[in-house]
Amino acid sequence: MKMIFPCFRKLIGVDTLYAIEGPRHVIEWQPLGDSKWLIHKHYASDYPRYQWVSELLAEAGHAEAISKEEWQACLARRSGEDERSSLPRVLKNWSFAANTTFGVDAMATRAVEVQSDADVRWVLKQTREAGLPLLVLGGGSNVLLHGDWNGWVLKMAIEGMEVLSDDGRELDVVVGAGEGWHKWVMQALENGWNGLENMALIPGSVGASPMQNIGAYGVEVKDRFLWLEAIHQETGALERFDFARCEFGYRDSIFKQAERDRWVIVRVAFRLDRKAPLHTAYGAIQHELQELKVDVPSHRDVAEAVMRIRRSKLPDPNVLGNAGSFFKNPILDPEEFNQVQKRHPQVVHYSLEDGRFKLAAGWLIDQAGWKGHRRKGCGVHDLQALVLVNYGGATGSEIWALAQDIINDVQEKFGVQLEPEVNQIRG
């Protein structure tokens, strides 16, 4: 039988309390004076601390298990306050139209906006006991609903930013998963915390950024990633994922592969650098810097150039429903690439450090004649072939049918398999 977290412990003979949130996470309440608590958050980063948590779980020494209700009563006796938080609000027949950038009109049975780890665990408990599927939604910028969702939606809204360490140049900052990605990038730049500027104006939330390993103009989230914390959907355990454990790839991570739909990311930590090197190798950035008449660019100048590029190519989802780039740029082995280039010498491509080649999916779609194509309420954007758009009233199934036709046509004409970057959600 799997252990369900959090677990609660009390030291026999004293008032010290523990809430064990996961195999390595413990919150400790030590009595301070007659009526206060001294609260410590512990993360067991090494074996001795991990052993200590294991002993607490096993009720070794003077630790004894208590119920959540007993734990709350102990807290209240000393502080004079009831620590039990109110339950989050459950919304029935919730519409995706206003909560996803594609604007597809689909419904969910229930939706809850969560603002804390406790809220997350409460929603997980409700869906687990009811046997209903759960969809975790951040900014709603990278999903396409094929129809109604016959389950619950967990709308991530955990906010906040905290500096964990700062040596004067580099600093580690942890950010709530519900913060908007672009808001976070601009806040970091405002504070002189650099390294994310090439990813300005990417839609979505901070929590979704490592899942997708978002990136733009030569920089990816993994380049500034430190760790993330996530709650296991079955056990409620809070765990920390470092760089290696995330298994980052091109627009990919373990959360889209082996650990898909098993975790709810609640916060992400980044390591930023006040003197981070600038990434301006992309010609489009250099062109925009020239247009801005900037000879010695700052990190903010690079962000401004990136935003100008994105605004010129990508439609505003508030005006025209879309999820940004719908397809990944395909990556080919040398032999596969040589076969494509032999038939299509002008194919736009980029050499990768591992010897493989990345093709420009937008070029393939454009050359196949799909740019500007329109059918019913959806189509391919006339300025960027990578972007599928909802002109109004299109269903997710109609947009996906268009995507499938593009995939099949590119395969037939170029021998290249396109993959969607946008997550497909089927109810």
Please say whether the beta carbons of 406 and 126 come within 8 A.
no
Residue 85 within any structural domain of the chain? no
pLDDT of residue 320: 96
pLDDT of residue 80: 60
CA distance 99 to 425: 14
Residue 37 within any structural domain of the chain? yes
Residue 190 within any structural domain of the chain? yes
Shared domain for 36 and 112, answered yes or no, is no
pLDDT of residue 35: 85
Burial class (CB in 10 A: 0-12, 13-18, 19+), 184: buried
* pTM for the model: 0.93
3-state secondary structure of 352: coil
Q: Which residues are marked as active site?
A: 251, 325, 421
Span 171-207, pLDDT tens digits: 999 999 999 999 999 999 999 999 999 999 999 999 9
Shared domain for 152 and 166, answered yes or no, is no
Shared domain for 202 and 118, answered yes or no, is no
Residues of the chain under the 70 pLDDT cut: 1, 80-85
pLDDT of residue 212: 93
118-127 burial, b for 16+ CB within 10 Å, e for fewer?
Answer: bbbbbbbebb
Shared domain for 174 and 294, answered yes or no, is yes
Residue 308 within any structural domain of the chain? no
Shared domain for 185 and 295, answered yes or no, is yes
Shared domain for 145 and 229, answered yes or no, is no
pLDDT of residue 82: 53
Shared domain for 262 and 178, answered yes or no, is yes
Burial class (CB in 10 A: 0-12, 13-18, 19+), 187: middle
State the residue range of the domain holding 183.
161-302
Shared domain for 177 and 290, answered yes or no, is yes
Shared domain for 279 and 203, answered yes or no, is yes
Residue 307 within any structural domain of the chain? no
CA 115, 240, 141: angle at the middle one, nearest 5? 50
Residue 191 within any structural domain of the chain? yes
pLDDT of residue 282: 87
Total domains, the chain? 4
3-state secondary structure of 423: strand
